[in-house]
Amino acid sequence: MEKSAKIYVAGHRGMVGSAVVRALRAAGFGNIVVRTHGELDLLDSRAVREFYESERPDVAVIAAARVGGIGANSEANSLFLYENAIIAMNTVYQAAEAGVKRLLFLGSTCIYPRLAPQPIPEEALLSSPLEKTNEGYALAKISGLKLCEYLRRERGLCYHSLMPTNLYGTGDNYDIEHGHVLPTLIRKFETARTQNAPTVTLWGSGTPLREFLHVDDLAAACLFVLGLENPPNLVNCGSGRELSIRQLAETIRELCGCKSLIVWDRTRPDGTPRKLCDTSLIRSLGWAPKIDLVGGLRRTIDEYRAALARGSLRGVDPCQVQ
């Protein structure tokens, strides 16, 4: 990518989009185009088409989505399917119609089957049924990545996708009911510490295994694949290390300096039992993560405390479109 390239980042106010914008700026890309939700409604295909035609970006990075944790997804699969499918169709198809030559579509490893082989290779896509708690989101993201693949094949456009594992870091959503597990746990343990609470209640059994990647590592991966002349249609992106929810909880409790006991609420869902992605493809191309989990957690807890003190913590509006 030329440093002068005009790059549209959809979803620049979300955790992923804002990290991508930071990484692009840090790498010397100065011509970045963004629109707030108020300025451009990504559910409106005509508006999206007009935007692409008037701005004519060289590259588009699609990081806009309605996102949320297991609570938000499982209670609103219809909304997660509807909004994310329309956002994907509009941002990808209208880009092609307006002549945008290169596009990177972001999703999540929840596109893979519930009982996919572990670590999950890209080839596991559509090989067996999906996890039910986030099926709507997954179907929308599968449609988006398939659209990129079809447009690349049919029109020769360099449209490709990257599927990150569970992300955390700067700008995360700390909503207790609707956020993802890692930020929610930071909030729960920090709140318990400051209130001297005897217990902290977490969801499920604590046995599911999850992999976590700092969003700055993901942003570096986005720049990396955008720099490839012939990128894979679909590539996973993860840290390659997994731990149980119980281990995650104990690590966060210790880093927060919280003494409360953990209580598991087994009426809440566990979700998929294991979700470790196979990162051999992206590693073979030359990318590797740089931020280890404990270092990334320390930084994230510091940022949480600073944002709380400033009154700028995200999570009041649980699952806004980013």
- Residue 1: C-alpha distances to residues 102, 129, 158, 223, 257 (Å): 10, 37, 12, 9, 44
Max CA distance (Å), the chain: 60
Number of residues that bind ligand GDP (CB under 6 A): 20
240 φ, ψ (degrees, to nearest 5): 80, 5
Taking the least distance from each CB to ligand GDP, the nearer of 71 and 144 is 71
Measure the CA–CA gap between 104 and 254, rounded to whole angstroms: 38
Interface residue with ligand GDP among 245, 258, 262, 282 (CB under 6 A) is 245
Min CB(74)–ligand GDP separation in Å: 9
Minimum CB distance to ligand GDP, residue 203 (Å) = 4
Rank residues 104 and 248 by Cβ distance to ligand GDP and give the closer one. 248
Between residue 166 and residue 225, which ones bind ligand GDP under the rule CB under 6 A? 166, 180-181, 184, 202-204, 208, 210
Residues 247-306 that bind ligand GDP (CB under 6 A): 268-272
* Cβ neighbours of residue 163 closer than 8 Å, sequence gap 6 or more: 106, 107, 108, 109, 111, 122, 141, 145, 234, 235, 236, 237, 277
The catalytic site residues sit at: 137
Helices (H), the chain: 15-26, 45-55, 70-75, 77-97, 135-155, 181-195, 215-226, 245-256, 280-285, 293-310
Nearer to ligand GDP among residue 122 and residue 211 (C-beta): 211
Task: Give the footprint of ligand GDP on residues 9-68 (CB under 6 A).
Answer: none
Residue 164 found at the interface with ligand GDP (CB under 6 A): no
Residue nearer to ligand GDP on the CB measure, 102 or 188? 188
Which residues of the chain form contacts with ligand GDP (CB under 6 A)?
A: 69-71, 110, 134, 166, 180-181, 184, 202-204, 208, 210, 245, 268-272
